[in-house]
Amino acid sequence: MFDNFTKIYQPVLTGRENLNASEIQVCCPFHNDKNPSMSINTNSGLFHCFGCGVSGSAIGFVMRYHNIGYSDALKFTGENNNNVNIFPKKENKKKIENTIVDYSEYINKVLENSTFHDEFYKFYCKKLYELRGITLNTAITCLIGYNPDKGWIFPVYRYPDMQAVGYEVRKKDFTLFDDGNKCYKSREIPSCLSVVYQGWNNKRAYICEGFVDSYFLYQFKYEQNYKFYKGHNFQINEWIMTPTNGVHTIPNLMKELKLWQDFDEIIFCLDNDKAGNDTKAILAELPHEGKFKFFNQLKEGDDIEKWYKRIRKLN
């Protein structure tokens, strides 16, 4: 399996690694690393540095290491090995019975025209940060794209097969706050669970209400260096997912996907409002083998974004 990724990670391999191991340790090229502090998962191709905290997919590594954009990184990996995907497909998982139109080709085309590392992208990331507080690191790790014609792109990667099935767009920088300005709604994609950040193993999955909440949860974990928060131990290697069709679809998705069979623990980060609390009550009634947990640090009326911003101010 690691054959798919050896060429990508060649620059950091010393030849002494046991490529049959599920994880290998190498020196991190993104900070001044003397002892190997970067782990590469040889099954998924995901990498994570325990020194500087940088992590991502194999394609993310290519983008960072060679300082190239998404489309160039795709070409780069394509030239080296045709089997390398943005995200590896998960085998032996239940498929969602679906009528989902396969948007993958379409989304890949849009992403190809999306810029990542160049000055243009950085300029818009700066705007995204100023307006909303999402950092460049979050944008790159979570593959948030910017397409000159479409606006900000939040790609939808369907769990469990990790197919790109569509995207959500928020137009331009100045209308980011206006939800009425989404020009292509993920709600138009049939209900599915979208993976915003793919974990290393299936220990824990977080389910947020929406895409932006998910990005802030990732950002919090990253900035806090995955430490304890009020008794809750955050790790960077955990999955973060969000439903495409709103909070009320979560119980059905859980029933459909039987997510409790895939993870040791599933933590719902629902808004502390009526819709969130109603959903929580329904979820509690579903079979879940004791694996459903609720993130209960949100004040009344809070969502993850508001919570994040309040916590960050306190720090």
Interface with Zn ion (CB under 5 A):
28, 30-31, 49, 51-52
CB of 117 to Zn ion, least distance (A): 18
CB of 30 to Zn ion, least distance (A): 5
Q: Specify the residue, 20 or 32, whose C-beta has the smaller distance to Zn ion.
A: 32
Q: Which of 212, 216, 214, 211 is nearest to 166 (CA)?
A: 211
In the numeric block, the tokens 């916590």 are attached to: 311
Q: Specify the residue, 52 or 284, whose C-beta has the smaller distance to Zn ion.
A: 52
Q: Specify the residue, 49 or 240, whose C-beta has the smaller distance to Zn ion.
A: 49
Q: Which of 155, 9, 192 is nearest to 84 (CA)?
A: 9
CB of 148 to Zn ion, least distance (A): 32
Residue 252, C-beta contacts closer than 8 angstroms, at least 6 positions apart: 191
Q: Specify the residue, 31 or 258, whose C-beta has the smaller distance to Zn ion.
A: 31
Q: Specify the residue, 31 or 126, whose C-beta has the smaller distance to Zn ion.
A: 31
Q: Which of 98, 90, 52 is nearest to 198 (CA)?
A: 90
| 3 state SS of 236 | coil
CB of 274 to Zn ion, least distance (A): 43
CB of 52 to Zn ion, least distance (A): 3
DSSP string computed for 187-217: GGSPS-EEEEE--SSSSEEEEESSHHHHHHH
Q: Which of 254, 264, 265, 268 is nearest to 217 (CA)?
A: 268
Q: Specify the residue, 61 or 152, whose C-beta has the smaller distance to Zn ion.
A: 61
CB of 87 to Zn ion, least distance (A): 22
| 3 state SS of 248 | helix
